[in-house]
Structure 1
């Protein structure tokens, strides 16, 4: 009769344990699904068609991107971003990882120990250059590090006409240079005329060089897009226990030793007074002789 209730109780306990396990597994699965959804959402939000190189297009775009987001750990995310950059043929031009102390306090936990509490935030500003055709791929790879997206700015500036204008200006400048050089060689006779023509030629060459450099800069921006990233993490707290310096009161002598030192100090003061009085023996002798003379002669 007593065995049946015990078996039922065991079955009931096993059933509760199984239910708890199933609930825990369901909760973990939900959390994983939420994380996967959040990651997918971050990737879809951060991606943009402006970062994609159009196929079979004659237009030339200079692409730049500015992204700010929160991460779990700034240092780890920085390493991941640098690895992604290298993987797709890019390079890092600037990175500045800093810890900012928001608050610091000290609490004495024992006579010789102090607990130091530091509240701080970590952030990093990174500038990377990646191949223009890989910008969207790099952005999607970086999206895996996002915990919360603050802002995303992607720009695609069409510089097709600007580059064409620079090339036409270069051709005109080169043609003008040739005509001026021929005039100097064939018609330049007077020194003043030659000097003026040479100055004009130098001006045209300088303008031509400037257009050449401008086109080279545009080509560099076309080939490698610039991506500026600002990442940060939530405020962290660090506790550090260290030994405290002993107070000077710990080295004070006990009361008996202080009384003994006071007695010795008083005795030394008495010795000093007696020694000082003995040093005045001549004055004391004169005063004594004067007093004796006063009593002996002036009273008579």
Structure 2
């Protein structure tokens, strides 16, 4: 009896802490019907918070959960969770599984073979939508997959006041529509009618979102593996291939001889191209040498 009292007390404190109203939202007939509907009780393990399955008379809650945990195998856990969600009538909206590479190294084992070693850690970020009445059951199945639970947060947002406010807003919009219809047709009436219709459309959109959030709870999950995995991939020893064909003396000598022959051709063709400059230079040199005075030799002593 004492344990039950403590659980209800903790639930009441949590609800007071997370209580908030969505201002301006209006509930449709579908949302009102869901708000008054009774859900079947769900048995969950003691490891799941009572917030997930809690019911309070004349109160309606939008429930969400956030789970962060470590698992043995991310891929297998992902498949298991997705299967559980489908069995419970829910669906997966996000599943971002990826492997974070820590290091990559290549080790040669022979002249022909080598091993490519990759160290990595796998993780996945998921977002699920599950019927609210089965949220506790899903959290139990998720909890069974954990090796270590880093954190788990379950929120229950009380929108009872928003539902009541939505009913009042629906009546107001309906009354405005009737009042506008009784006005004389003119430009102002058209504008008022358009504004009222736009407001009604916004209300219907808010109604659908609120109804969907009441019927389906959103669960965000982050899972990762606690240890680093190693992948060993057999590959070809590329270093031995590079060494084999890196240098060939006879081929290189032949190529050098051919390149030298082409270089001589290019030099000869270049000289032919600048023959006028060479001719002018030769003429200038000739006349300059011819005009240069010849130094007289001193007489030899007798």
Highest relative contact order (Cα 8 Å, sep 6+), 1 or 2?
A: 2
CA RMSD of aligned residues (A): 2.5
Task: Find the counterpart in structure 2 of residue 137 from structure 1.
Answer: 137
| Structure that is richer in helix per residue | 1
For residue 244 of structure 2, the aligned residue among 237, 247, 250 is: 250
Task: Find the counterpart in structure 2 of residue 59 from structure 1.
Answer: 59
Question: Secondary structure at 2:120's aligned position in 1?
Answer: strand
Question: Secondary structure at 1:177's aligned position in 2?
Answer: helix
Deviations 1:85-120 (A, max 9, x none): 111111111111111111111122222222211110
For residue 216 of structure 1, the aligned residue among 202, 208, 213 is: 208
What TM-score comes out, normalization by structure 1 length? 0.65
Task: Find the counterpart in structure 1 of residue 51 from structure 2.
Answer: 50
Pair 1:222–1:131, CA change in 2 (3 A): same
Pair 1:72–1:249, CA change in 2 (3 A): closer
Pair 1:180–1:119, CA change in 2 (3 A): same
| Mapped partners of 1:69, 1:202: distance in 2 | 51
Q: Is the 8 A contact 1:85 1:138 kept in 2?
A: yes
Pair 1:144–1:248, CA change in 2 (3 A): closer
Q: Unpaired runs of 5+ in structure 2?
A: 1-44, 265-302
| Mapped partners of 1:78, 1:63: distance in 2 | 22
Question: Secondary structure at 2:55's aligned position in 1?
Answer: coil
What pairs with 1:97-246 in structure 2 (closer than 5 Å)? 97-184=97-184, 188=185, 194-233=186-225, 234-245=227-238, 246=240
Deviations 1:47-98 (A, max 9, x none): 111100416x221100000101111001100111011111111111111111
What TM-score comes out, normalization by structure 2 length? 0.64
Q: Unpaired runs of 5+ in structure 1?
A: 1-42, 189-193, 273-300
Using the TM superposition, give the Cα deviation of residue 141 of structure 1 relative to its aligned residue in structure 2, in angstroms.
Answer: 1.1
| Mapped partners of 1:96, 1:147: distance in 2 | 20
| Mapped partners of 1:253, 1:183: distance in 2 | 99
| Mapped partners of 2:132, 2:115: distance in 1 | 52
Extract structure 1 runs of 4+ deviating beyond 4 A: 251-254
Deviations 1:228-280 (A, max 9, x none): 111111211112232112344424568xx79xx79xx7xxx9xx9xxxxxxxx
Q: Is the 8 A contact 1:170 1:212 kept in 2?
A: no
| Mapped partners of 2:197, 2:248: distance in 1 | 90
Using the TM superposition, give the Cα deviation of residue 201 of structure 1 relative to its aligned residue in structure 2, in angstroms.
Answer: 1.7
